[in-house]
Structure 1
Amino acid sequence: MTKNKPFKSLNIVVLTVSDSRDESNNTAGDLLADALVAEGHQLSEKVIATDDIYQIRALTSVWIASTDVQVVLVTGGTGFNDKNATIKALTPLFDKTVEGFGELFRQLSFDDIGTSTLQSRAVAGLANGTVIFCMPGSIGACQLGWDKIIQTQLDARHGPCNFVPHLK
């Protein structure tokens, strides 16, 4: 942590992509929402969308275009089956891909799920000053992503670098 920089609260959206989740069983989305608020950030919106490329892209495009949203945390729709649309929907919107996120996510996941991490398509990117993190839909994957990677990268005090200076 860099002591001379103040914490900056960010406006964050949580998007759960699922054809089976609703507010009563959105455990991964709830975990992310609770974690970001506990850290001192603002939950701008929490949405559940069906696993549809155009719905995912339309929602996320609004947040990217907004002057208020700085971060989008996406859980679900990243699996290897043909129905999972998150990666196909969002990667074309990225101005820059954050290759290190997926690489580090899979490395850390190996300790929990072994070689099954090969099928993880966790990805992140920057679009119009908005950082977008896409994680698998399990609560364990979201806990790992938040605790081990995202939390510090959204903290202006973390050094030597973090995403805060790159955000609108």
Structure 2
Amino acid sequence: MSKARTDAPAIALRCAVLTISDTRTADSDSSGDYLAASLAAAGHQCTARAIVPGNLYGIRRIISDWIADDAVQVILTNGGTGYSHQKSTVAAITPLLDQLITGFGELFRQLSYRDIGSSALQSEAFAGVANETLVFCMPGSTSACKTAWEGILREQLDSTHRPCNFASDYHHA
């Protein structure tokens, strides 16, 4: 339930979307497409977008570049957050974070449980802040991205959402 403050101006954030997958291409990246379209529909800008295989150092290179870029305020990643030997998103990104946002993963798994039951515990969705850049990492399925966007991110990236939101706290010109 949104408690939007209608008298506050909406802040358009500059965002980047990274799909972490060994199989997706620009033509088949439905999750990246969904996230970019959702950002645009909410009034934000998707200023950068990429697809990278689940290589630890390839992921770190792109995320590090975006964290260091003052033009990127929010990074959304999808893919590589499950449990298997091929999943490296958590290992690649968490060392880059200055602070964890533990509630994101907890809330994501709670929302996900409604759709997929106990399989939700196999998601290591997580979020944090690095160099004043918000980083949200979610599973690669479009359904999981939709759960994260509709249940958490849409409101938390909305500067008019009350009682609090990340857009107001991490907005920098």
**Residue in structure 2 matched with residue 105 of structure 1 by the alignment:** 108
Secondary structure in structure 2 of the residue aligned to 1:161: coil
Q: For 1:39, which of 21, 31, 42 is the aligned residue?
A: 42
> Where does residue 71 of structure 1 map in the other structure?
74
- Residue identity matched to 1:114: G
Q: Which residue of 2 aligns with 1:89?
A: 92
Structure 1: 5+ residue runs without aligned partners? none
Structure 2 partner of 1:23? 26
Decide whether the 8 Å contact of 1:8 with 1:155 is kept in 2: yes
Deviating 4+ runs (over 4 angstroms): none
Pairwise CA RMSD:
0.8
Alignment map for 1:1-168 (pairs within 5 Å):
1-167=4-170, 168=172
Contact 1:13 1:44 survives alignment (8 Å): yes
- Partner AA of 2:79 in structure 1: G
Q: Tell me if the contact between 2:31 and 2:141 (Cα under 8 Å) persists in the aligned partners.
A: yes
The letter for the 1-side match of 2:156 is: Q
Deviations 1:80-115, CA, capped at 9 Å, x for gaps: 001111111001111110000000000000010000
Q: Secondary structure at the match of 1:19?
A: coil
Work out whether residues 11 and 168 of structure 2, in 8 Å CA contact, stay in contact via their aligned partners in 1. no
Length, aligned pairs only = 168
Q: Secondary structure at the match of 1:78?
A: coil
Indicate if the aligned counterparts of 1:13 and 1:43 stay in contact, CA closer than 8 A: yes
SS in 1 for 2:27: coil
Contact 2:97 2:130 in 1 (8 A): yes
What are the superposed Cα offsets for residues 3-34 of structure 1, whole Å, 9 maximum, x if unpaired? 22110000000000000000111010100011
Alpha-carbon contact 1:129-1:166 (below 8 Å) kept:
no
1:50-85 CA-partner distances (Å, limit 9, x unpaired): 101101111011111111100000000111001111
Contact kept in structure 1, 2:73 and 2:132, CA below 8 Å: yes
Please give the TM-score of this superposition, normalised by the length of structure 2.
0.95
CA distance in 1 between counterparts of 2:153 and 2:40 reads 13
